[in-house]
Structure 1
Amino acid sequence: MEIDFTNIKVIGFDADDTLWVNETYFREAEEEVGKLLSIYETPNKIDQELFKMEIKNLPTYGYGIKGFVLSMIELAIELSNGSVSNDIISKMLAIGKDMINKPIELLVGVEQVLSTLSKDYKLIVATKGDLLDQERKLENSGLLKYFHHIEVLSEKEEKNYSKLLQHLEIEPSEFLMIGNSLKSDVLPLVNMGSQAIHIPFHTTWQHEEVSHKDGHSSAFKTVKTITDVLNIIY
């Protein structure tokens, strides 16, 4: 498929690990959980079981820190056969609160790119996660002034994006999505006839990984940094 940006009217941005650092904090939290529960299992096994627990709980809790913390606690109860101490549970809650209260660390070049693109395009945020947490991060980021619309999605699948584009009253061919996840920010858009730019982040959650074949395609652009987006669009 030919990549053509001349028809684009609206540009969507993922938030976590596209505009600011996020996944790094989850990796750090997972290491802490491994240490807390090391009396029950090896860190590697704990990491594997925590991932399984998160995936099992996604339909109930959705994405975000709160669901992550609840999965941590459930895993602790399971691994300890119900004997986990109040002290460990309290420390897990503290890990979650610390994650929520992390200062926003914008990725290099983000504000420059948004400032430039907002002069010629309508910009939106299309992200997954906990609504309250994402609203807080957007508010604290100082970036809200650049966006025409904010959408926090329960999932990033073709049907979700289709509803979003209908709400924005634009055709798929008029939409460009920019994000760090091939699974969530790129492939669904390419499949529905929109454009997409992939900006890999240095760490990716297992749930967002795709096959080597899907990750290498001429149907979308891949760039190293967000500032490279300007060279492609202009």
Structure 2
Amino acid sequence: MPQRWTVAFDADDTLWHNERFFRSTQARFVDLLRDHAGEDHLRERLLAAERRNLGRYGFGVKGFVLSMIETAIEVSEARVPSAAIGEIMAMGREMLAHPIELLPGVETAVTALSGRARLMLVTKGDLLDQERKLAQSGLGDAFEAVEIVSDKTAPVYAGIFARHGVAPDRAVMVGNSLKSDVIPVLEAGGWGVHVPFETTWELEHAEPPLSHPRFRRLDDLARLPALVEKLET
């Protein structure tokens, strides 16, 4: 008997809203520091700090907050008041407590695939925050395995497949990021399904691998079960 298919889901902005909380917090940060620098400069310096700090702090709210603090000190030439630093930290605490709101089609897709395929969650970010969001989402029982990783690369996916006894050519990774959820999975021998979200973090942009035979794109996650059924035949 052929191995049943494994369907792995990204979490943030694939299963539930996330990027909008970063965008709204960034807007508050710009307003807080507007006496020290213009909006475009602030956004540019914050993005540069995030890119610079990924290797140190990883993905997630905590690294974002540290990058905001670093940027505030930089653009103010170390004159930013302590009250502003306190407000940035408060923004981070709010982000870590935001309620979970599932995206359209998520419950339909997960329910239809549960039991028929092996479902996994593969997400990057802060361990405690991702565990909190999964617990509050109500989807936890649907996943046979959960992997919270520091980054998503082809070797990371290959390691996950090997650890769980998954044949890459019978594995589908579903997510909103071409850079993290699609391209490295294709490199690891799996199928990559891109479900675009309304906004994408600048550091997650990549060109779609349109000519790759195992690349698929869906505009509606509710159509995922039908796609998996086609792959099974």
Same fold (TM over 0.5): yes
Q: Which residue of 1 aligns with 2:37?
A: 41
Q: Distance in 2 between matches of 1:58 and 1:196?
A: 24
Q: Which residue of 1 aligns with 2:145?
A: 149
Q: What is the total number of aligned residue pairs between the two structures?
A: 227
Q: Which residue of 2 aligns with 1:3?
A: none
* Change in CA separation of 1:165 and 1:49 when aligned onto 2, cut-off 3 Å: same
Q: Which residue of 1 aligns with 2:221?
A: 226
* TM-score, normalised via structure 1 length: 0.93
Q: Distance in 1 between matches of 2:38 and 2:201?
A: 20
- Contiguous gaps of at least 5 residues in structure 2: none
Please say if residues 4 and 118 of structure 2, whose CA atoms lie closer than 8 Å, have aligned partners that are also in contact: no
Query: Residue 116 of structure 1: which of 100, 105, 112 is its match?
Result: 112
Q: For residues 166-181 of structure 1, what are the structure 2 equivalents within 5 Å?
A: 166-181=162-177
Please say if residues 155 and 188 of structure 2, whose CA atoms lie closer than 8 Å, have aligned partners that are also in contact: no
Q: Which residue of 2 aligns with 1:30?
A: 26
Q: For residues 1-234 of structure 1, what are the structure 2 equivalents within 5 Å?
A: 9-211=5-207, 214-219=208-213, 220-234=215-229
Identical pairs, percent: 40
* Change in CA separation of 1:7 and 1:221 when aligned onto 2, cut-off 3 Å: farther
Deviation at 1:216, TM superposition (A): 3.2
Q: Distance in 2 between matches of 1:163 and 1:85?
A: 46
Alignment deviations for residues 172-195 of structure 1 (CA, whole Å, 9 cap, x no partner) = 112110000001000111122211
Amino acid at match of 1:223: L
* TM-score, normalised via structure 2 length: 0.94
Moved more, 64-73 or 184-193: 184-193
Amino acid at match of 1:161: Y
Alignment deviations for residues 49-95 of structure 1 (CA, whole Å, 9 cap, x no partner) = 10100111111100000110011001111111111111111111111
Amino acid at match of 1:81: E
